Structure 1
């Protein structure tokens, strides 16, 4: 710079310049000397270097911190991925186990139904020589139920005089005597031979009305409880058919109705009731007003059926369309 500007390099000049620089005002551009500029530049370079070093340290520190955080995030993501994979594996295993359990449960339900059907069949076969006698007043048999039944059959039925009834047992069921307002216990009559039992039952049905002390009694097969429950479901249909004068029969758990155009057999009370509804015969279970009937206790306990009635669903038959129940969407659209 000295050579460029033509300045002399002697000690005296330098000393004079330094003294002048010390006395000069830095804010006065006219008094700024090259030496001052050099020192200022050196100072600036030093400060910039320090700033650069500080910035570099901060950047390195931030970079290391970010790397550390990224490593932690990567580890956490890896852990989450492993947990998700494990969860998916467990869900898959649960699905497999659930499917297998469902399949096994369905198989066992099917076996249980088959077993229950066989047990019902065995029980029915063990009862095939029995007759149930209903509506006999308590105490009418006096001391011996067996003697009472023998005399009753001989007196009321048209049986051959030389017929040996071969009655093995006769007793009421259940054996414990009920209270004064309890239903009358039926009498079970067990015959040694099936043919004799069938003969007695046919003669009783043929005669029709049999009375003891002004009370009508009737004879029937001794069915298993499951069969009895199944047959009870036809009671409403029987009442409707009787009131309409239509002949019917209930062999075992089915119903045979003699229509004008032929005989039809129904395997359930529901199917028979739907047929009655379509032919215009009043069927109690389909025409019942659930919210009003005193016999339908659920309608008295739950006011939701009253809300149904307010919307127009007054009778059960309104829930059916032919032989099928209407879907929920159809009911929403209609009511």
Structure 2
């Protein structure tokens, strides 16, 4: 019985000891926290300028924000004014371009008409010039100085000595002179001599006799005779140069009357009215020939105007018409060849 009161007293004392033990860590933790607080307070007391510097930085940042906001407002206002000016200028440019477009539309049709009229007048002028030259003949290859004091006397003597058919006839040469181009250099081809006859028949007779003889020589140079063509006709005849070169390499005979070409194929003589037509025929037959450059027809400006005005269909119709005309000519040539064989 005496032991039980003693145990009860020990149990009462044990919780108090545990409470003391449990409270000891809290006391230990509180110590460092208070120490940190005291150190921070001491640091703040030691550096009083830190807070003032922070406040100054914040004030400067706010001032910069205010200035930037003001500049942004000014830029927005200037951009708005610039956009309004650009829009106004664009509107005025649009109006001006529309006005120019209207003027161009009004001028295209008359200009195209004038170009066609100019081409027609040029063709008529070329025809008149050709008629005025029909009694003329050109002699190519006579060296400069061979004519002596009188070109007319030299030509008359030269023709009668080289062409026997003209010895007993009166040539009736009215004028004879070299072309009006500058005197040629020694290494350049000499200027041709232009001879004007009183009668067309005399000129034709001289040309036929000269072409029959083929090779006529004066000194060391070969001389040949031809018509005195107008400048536009000369340009047109030059288109056949590439075709002539290809035919000469193959040894095929040909003739170029006026602005056409006659080629003596093995199947017969065939006439081509343009250099492009002859070139296409040679390519079909396997001849290497370059594309000739046309010198007649619609000018680039006229072609451009026709394209702008939407006249491509008319151009296509013209091409179809020319193709049909070529087919008709080919059939006529075939008929003529067949008729010749039958006869």
Q: TM-score range by the shorter chain?
A: 0.5 to 0.7
Distance of 1:90 and 1:171 partners within structure 2: 59
The CA deviation at 1:275 is 1.5
Structure 1 match to 2:288: 282
C-alpha distance 84-137 of structure 1, shift in aligned 2 (>3 A): closer
What SS does the aligned partner of 1:159 have? helix
Structure 1 match to 2:329: none
RMSD: 2.9
Larger fraction in helix: 2
Unmatched 5+ stretches in structure 1: 1-80, 287-335
The answer on whether the counterparts of 1:172 and 1:188 sit within 8 Å (CA) in structure 2 is: yes
Query: In the alignment, which of 143, 149, 168 is matched to residue 174 of structure 2?
Result: 168
Greater length-normalized contact order (CA 8 Å, ≥ 6 residues apart): 2
Query: In the alignment, which of 131, 136, 144 is matched to residue 142 of structure 2?
Result: 136
Deviations 1:94-120 (A, max 9, x none): 444212211111011101101111111
The CA deviation at 1:136 is 0.5
The answer on whether the counterparts of 1:134 and 1:185 sit within 8 Å (CA) in structure 2 is: yes
Tell me the TM-score normalised to structure 1 length. 0.56
Distance of 1:173 and 1:273 partners within structure 2: 32
Deviations 1:136-179 (A, max 9, x none): 01111111111110011111112254411110011111264333
Structure 1 match to 2:196: 190
Query: In the alignment, which of 269, 282, 300 is matched to residue 263 of structure 1?
Result: 269
C-alpha distance 131-113 of structure 1, shift in aligned 2 (>3 A): same
Query: In the alignment, which of 231, 236, 240 is matched to residue 242 of structure 2?
Result: 236
Deviations 1:14-61 (A, max 9, x none): xxxxxxxxxxxxxxxxxxxxxxxxxxxxxxxxxxxxxxxxxxxxxxxx
Tell me the TM-score normalised to structure 2 length. 0.55
The CA deviation at 1:188 is 0.5
What SS does the aligned partner of 1:155 have? helix
| 1:181 and 2:195 are equivalent in the alignment | no
Structure 2 match to 1:116: 122
The CA deviation at 1:267 is 2.6
Range with greater deviation from structure 2 (247-256 or 266-275): 266-275
Distance of 2:267 and 2:226 partners within structure 1: 30
| 1:146 and 2:152 are equivalent in the alignment | yes
The answer on whether the counterparts of 2:159 and 2:166 sit within 8 Å (CA) in structure 1 is: no
What SS does the aligned partner of 1:132 have? strand
- 5 Å-filtered alignment, 1:1-335, equals 93-174=99-180, 176-284=182-290
The answer on whether the counterparts of 1:249 and 1:255 sit within 8 Å (CA) in structure 2 is: yes
C-alpha distance 158-251 of structure 1, shift in aligned 2 (>3 A): same
The answer on whether the counterparts of 1:256 and 1:263 sit within 8 Å (CA) in structure 2 is: yes
> How many residues were matched structurally?
211
C-alpha distance 271-180 of structure 1, shift in aligned 2 (>3 A): same
The answer on whether the counterparts of 1:240 and 1:284 sit within 8 Å (CA) in structure 2 is: no
Deviations 1:162-219 (A, max 9, x none): 4111100111112643332332110000101111111111110011100111321000
Unmatched 5+ stretches in structure 2: 1-86, 293-343
